[in-house]
Each structure stands twice: as C-alpha cells, then as structure tokens.
Amino acid sequence: MSPVSWPMSLSLRRKLLLFSALIAALPLLFAGQSLIRIARDEMKSSANERLVRTVREVTGQIDDIYERAWLPPLLMIRSTLDSEKVGVGEKVAVLTHGIAELPDIVALQITLDGGRLPLVISQDRFSAKLTEAGIQPLSVLRVSPETIMAAAGTEAAPPVRVSAVDYEPKTGAWLATVILPLQNPVSGARAVLSARIDLGRIRDFIRDQPFRQVGMITTVDAQGRTLFDPEQAGSGETEPPSQGEIVTEALAARKEGRSRVVSVDTYSRPDGTPMLGTFAPVRNFDWTVMVEQKEADAYYAAGVMMNSLSLWTIGGLVIAVLGSVAFSLGISRPILAIGEAANEVAKGNYKVQVKTVRSRDEIGELAKRINNMIVQINERFELAKFVSHGTISAIQRSEETGVALGGSRCEVAILFVDIRGYTAFAESRDPETVVETLNFYLARQADLVASHNGDVDKFVGDQVMAVFQGPAMAANALRCALAMQKHMTDASANRPDRTLAIGIGIDMGEVVMGAIGARDRMDFTVLGDHVNIAARLCSAAKPRQTLATAVVIQAAMGSHPDLPLTSHALDPITVKGKSAPLRVYDIQPARQNSQLKRAGGGAAEL
C-alpha cells in the first residue's frame, strides 16, 4: 500500500492571512454582487420601460393624428354630402374647400356603384408636385371603383375604413386611402366618399423620434410589409422582413385581435444579434409598430455600471487583501518572533530577547512577559550553577510544598579534594591570575565529578566536596580521584609556571541528606561522621596523594574487581574527632598487567 500523504499544515501566518482575507473579501464580494445585480436589474428595467414608452408614444401619436387631424373634417365632409338640404354646387364647394384647408388630404373622390369614372378633386400643391416629377396626378390619386367598392363592403351602417397604403417612388410619398361610405344614394346609386391622405407627417414623426438614435422603430401592415421603407415597398415582397421572430409574433397578435402593448422580449435576429423588442397595434390602421434595440445597446448603461461596480469591487478586494496581509503580518511577525525566542531558549540561549515587538496590545504585553520570563529563566539557570544537582533534585521533588528543613538517611561516597600550595601560589600572583587558575582547576574537577556520575556538593575556597550515589559509588569515587590526579599532573607539565598538586580523601557510609539552615536561606548537603572522615583524610593527604578508607576499597572490589588501580595500606592514622585510629589506603593507578586483589588486613597491593 502506498503511504497516505497528509495535506501540508498551514503556518500561523498563512492561517491569519487566509482568515483576514476571507473576512475582508467575503463581505465585499457579497455586497458587490448584490449591488451589481440590483444595478443590472434596475438598468434593464429602465431600458425595457423606454421601449414600452416609445411604442406607446408612436402608436398614440399615429392614432391622435388620425382621430384629431384627419377624421373630423372627413366626417364633416361626408355629413355635408349626405345632407339633402345642400345642393350639388354647395357640395362641390365643400369638397374643393376641404382639399385646400387640409394639407394632409391630397385628394377626395366620390365613387358611384356601377359608375365608370369617379369624381376626383385633388390638392393643387400635391398635384403640382406630381406633375413636376413627370407623373399624371390622376394616375396616383384616383383609386379604381372596384377597389373602392370592395373596401366599402356591404354593411347597412358603413364604418370608416383605412384601405391599403401605397408608395410613390418618384416623390417618396406614402398615401393611405380612407373609405367613408355615404348613407344616402347619389343619382339613385350607392356612393362612397374616399380620401387619399399623405402619411408624411407620420413618417416624419417616426423618423425624428429620439429613440431612433439608439434603436429602431418599424411599422408593418397586415400583410407584413414594412411601411415607410422604400426598398421593400418597391420590391413587392409581402413576407415578414428580416427582423424575424418579433414580426411574426406581431402579425399573429394582430390577427388574434390583441390590442395592448406586448411586454419586452428577448430574441435573436437571423444574423445572431441579441435584440430586445416590443410591439403594439395602431388602433385606426391595420398596422403594428415595433420598437427594437440591440440588447448590448439597451443594457449598455447597466454594463457600464456593472463594470464600474466590478472595478470598485476588485479595487476594494485588493485593498482588503493588502490590509489583511498587513494585519496578518502585524500579528504573525510578533508571534513568530516570540516563537524564535522560545526556540533559542530551548537551545540554551538565555540571552535572547524579543526585540522586534513594539505593539501596545496583548501581543506586545506577551512579548514583555516572555522577555521577563527569559530573564528569570536565565537568573535561575545561573543560580543553578551555584547549587548541586542534589539541591535541584530536591527542589523538583518538593512540587508545590517547597523544600522543607530536614533530611533523610542514605548511603553515599564522599570525596574531598584540596589544592596543595595554593596559599603560597596566591601570594606571588596577581588576583586575576589566581582566580583564573583556581577556576581552571575547579572547572576540570567538576567536569570529572560529573563524568563519573557524581555531584559537586559545594566549593569551599580551593576545596571541592563531591557526593557519589548508587551501586557503583565507591568505584566511581576512586576512578574520579585517579582522573583528578592525572589531570593535575598533566596540567602542571603543560604549565610549569602554575605547578600545583592536590590531596584527596574518600570515605563512604550512611549520612543524612537534606536541607539545613533557615526558612529563607537553606543549604542542601550531606551531614554525618563519614563526611567528616573524608574531609579529615583530604587534610591528611600529601600532595598528589589519594587516601581512602577500608570500607571504600572493599565496596569497590566487591562491585568492580577489575578496577585499574592499586591500593597500599598505610599505618592507621588518628583524625580529629575519632578516638580509634583509621585504616587507610593510598590509591595509585594500577601497573600494567596488574590485577586487583581484594583488600584484607595489613598492607595490600592492588
């Protein structure tokens, strides 16, 4: 099986950066998204309302022109023609005067059912325009009787109807035919009044619409022909123009009789251009007005606003991220500095300080406490150099109660070592040399004690007191003594100007180990007769001599019979505080190939 690969853990700085960036960015993202959505909806709603407002304005204007400018005079003329009280001459005068006063009505025609040539009265200005274009006016203004009678229908109460719209290419005129059937017959025949109306006013109104600057306004008739479009009018096509879907829907709505504005819809032109469009029927014509605009243009303002909001959102995100970076670095750097200081302390560097943290917040306070803690640790570390390991162990064992005065019995080996000739050496040297020399020898002696599993209990001037514990304490004490003597011999050879020697005394037995002194000032040490004996032996030892009691030799031989040393029994000596003489042995390094013999009574060579 392949080992499982766990994802890399994030550092504190990365966590803070990620967390800060998310806190800063998420509100901006949500707020920006909401603003963009609201702005887009509002702008789209505004664009859609403009489309609807435009189509209503155009259809309303067309109906208004028809109902206010054209229909009332035509109805008045028809009423006059239907009146039996008005003579023929007066009726002709009304027709002639109506043409002159109504600029958009370019011809009036009375058609009799079954008659061959209808009566046509044309407007002089429009007729002159046709003549200038080389067109016979009647060829354009006169409508065939068949067309008129077909458009008039057979209703008993004939309504006003708008017939087809024609285009005159040479003059660019669009003409609509309005049918007004008369109620009373003329000369015994059914009569129809018709008017040819110039649609130039409607065309100009649509052309001058402000909306045409951004979109399109198209008018189609019931056959799908685009009005006011000379190209399509000349082609004779009746299929819906290229706008496609919206025209088809507009024609269908017209056939179904829907008379209201259709809501804005989105569709695509045959060329794939997305469009917005709406349409509405003209009330008095078989026309439908369509207002269209490219979706990109209709929503241009929304797009600009969305882009602006997007840029502001992105800018805000950048600022937020940069702020979060600064914030995270401001938090993580002090913490990392504190962590580095902790690592240095773990390596034993108690001089380190957190110096890069200057903030006046909780982290700055933490840095101050860490610095104070390091100072206290350094003080305790330095203080530990002045006490023995036994003292430190006692403190550690005391837990919450603290070290109490008193002690307990235990068996130890005690070694005293004292520098011989030190007083005379000190008198002939400057104090700095004396201290440097003393520290040199004491430091090496302390190292040798530690390397032989012993503990320096105290330094007394140029004297060292060491304690050894455990099953091999006697052997360790003897080995340590031989190593100290060898070191002094080697050091004297290397530094003839500082030739010094040591004397060593060793004893072992049961002592009391514990704290002595006062409640506020204690000393952790060992007390007992064997401590005093070791000290007396050290005082009795000559330079470069190691003295040990018989019990030490016997214990060492019992546990380590192959110790590389020899012991020579000396005459019993009397020490201060002891009434009976002590059996002591002079310890020396073993000769090559010598074997250690168990010590007995009298002299023995090991």
Task: Encode pLDDT of 239-284 as tens digits.
Answer: 444 456 777 777 777 777 666 666 667 878 778 888 888 888 888 8
Mean local confidence (pLDDT), 60-66: 91
Highest mean pLDDT among 350-364, 380-394, 418-432: 418-432
pLDDT of residue 185: 84
Cβ atoms 440, 385 nearer than 8 A: no
Cβ burial 446-476 (10 Å sphere, 16+ → b, else e)? bebbeebbbbbbbeeebbbbbbbbeebbbbb
pLDDT of residue 474: 92
pLDDT of residue 13: 62
Task: Encode pLDDT of 182-213 as tens digits.
Answer: 888 887 888 899 999 999 999 999 999 998 88
The per-residue pLDDT of the chain, averaged, comes to: 79
Q: Where are the beta strands (DSSP E) in 84-232?
A: 105-112, 119-122, 161-168, 173-181, 191-198, 216-220, 226-227
Q: In whole angstroms, how far apart are CA 239 and each of 258, 342, 392, 423, 590?
A: 21, 88, 109, 133, 130
Mean local confidence (pLDDT), 79-92: 81
Cβ atoms 463, 438 nearer than 8 A: no
- Tell me which H or E stretch contains 272: none
**Confidence category of residue 233, pLDDT binned at 50, 70, 90:** low
Contacts 24+ apart (CB under 8 A), 254-260: 254/222, 254/281, 254/286, 254/288, 259/283
> Which tops the pLDDT comparison, 74 or 7?
74
Mean local confidence (pLDDT), 151-177: 79
Of 107, 176, 168, 92, nearest to 142 by C-alpha is 107
Cβ atoms 279, 59 nearer than 8 A: no
**Confidence category of residue 356, pLDDT binned at 50, 70, 90:** low
What number of other Cβ atoms are within 10 A of residue 43's Cβ? 19
Of 238, 202, 199, nearest to 220 by C-alpha is 238
- Identity of residue 108: L
User: Is 374 in a helix, a strand, or coil?
Assistant: helix
Q: How far is CA 112 from the centre of its chain?
A: 87
Question: Could you give the CA distance from residue 94 to residue 98 in angstroms, rounded to a whole number?
Answer: 6
Does the pLDDT of residue 481 top 90, yes or no?
yes
pLDDT of residue 412: 92
Task: Encode pLDDT of 557-577 as tens digits.
Answer: 887 888 888 888 888 887 777
What is the DSSP code (8-state) at residue 395? H
pLDDT of residue 237: 46
User: Residue 575 burial by CB count (10 A; 0-12/13-18/19+): exposed, middle or buried?
Assistant: middle
67: which 2 tokens? Answer: 């109902």
- How far is the first Cα of the chain from the last one, in angstroms, to the nearest whole number? 64
Question: Could you give the CA distance from residue 585 to residue 546 in angstroms, rounded to a whole number?
Answer: 8
- Tell me which H or E stretch contains 501: strand 501-517
- Asked if 209-298 and 389-589 have one fold, the answer is no
Does the pLDDT of residue 596 top 60, yes or no?
no
Does the pLDDT of residue 386 top 70, yes or no?
no
Does the pLDDT of residue 597 top 50, yes or no?
no
Domain boundaries in the chain?
83-199, 209-298, 303-382, 389-589
- Tell me which H or E stretch contains 409: strand 406-420
pLDDT of residue 478: 94
Residue 302 has φ and ψ, to the nearest 5°, of: -65, -40
pLDDT of residue 204: 92
pLDDT of residue 241: 47
pLDDT > 90 in the chain, percent: 18
pTM of the model as a whole:
0.51
**Third-level CATH fold of 209-298:** Beta-Lactamase (3.30.450)
Does the pLDDT of residue 365 top 90, yes or no?
no
- Tell me which H or E stretch contains 575: none
Question: Could you give the CA distance from residue 87 to residue 467 in angstroms, rounded to a whole number?
Answer: 157
Cβ burial 252-265 (10 Å sphere, 16+ → b, else e)? ebbeeeeeebbebe
- Identity of residue 260: R
pLDDT of residue 381: 66
pLDDT of residue 159: 67
Return the CATH class of domain 83-199.
alpha beta
> Which tops the pLDDT comparison, 470 or 41?
470
| For the chain, the helix, strand and coil percentages under 3-state DSSP, each to the nearest 5 | 50, 20, 30
Does the pLDDT of residue 599 top 60, yes or no?
no
Residue 123 has φ and ψ, to the nearest 5°, of: -80, 130
Q: Which of 163-167, 285-289, 339-343, 544-548 has the lowest mean pLDDT?
A: 339-343
Q: Which of 89-93, 320-324, 454-458, 466-470 has the lowest mean pLDDT?
A: 320-324
- Tell me which H or E stretch contains 593: none
299: which 2 tokens? Answer: 């929503």
Cβ atoms 190, 112 nearer than 8 A: yes
Does the pLDDT of residue 40 top 80, yes or no?
no
Mean local confidence (pLDDT), 170-186: 88
Q: Which of 280-284, 463-467, 516-520, 581-585 has the lowest mean pLDDT?
A: 516-520
Question: Could you give the CA distance from residue 228 to residue 219 in angstroms, rounded to a whole number?
Answer: 8
> Which tops the pLDDT comparison, 305 or 233?
305
Those residues whose C-beta lies under 8 Å from the C-beta of residue 150, and which sit 6 or more positions away, are none
Of 569, 546, 541, nearest to 486 by C-alpha is 546
**Third-level CATH fold of 389-589:** Alpha-Beta Plaits (3.30.70)
pLDDT of residue 205: 92
pLDDT of residue 357: 64
pLDDT of residue 261: 64
**Confidence category of residue 238, pLDDT binned at 50, 70, 90:** very low
pLDDT > 70 in the chain, percent: 78
Query: Rg of the chain over CA atoms, in angstroms?
Result: 62
Does the pLDDT of residue 24 top 70, yes or no?
no
Q: Which of 72-81, 207-216, 370-379 has the lowest mean pLDDT?
A: 370-379
Q: Which of 87-101, 217-231, 371-385, 436-450 has the lowest mean pLDDT?
A: 371-385
> Which tops the pLDDT comparison, 347 or 185?
185
Does the pLDDT of residue 363 top 80, yes or no?
no
> Which tops the pLDDT comparison, 341 or 233?
341
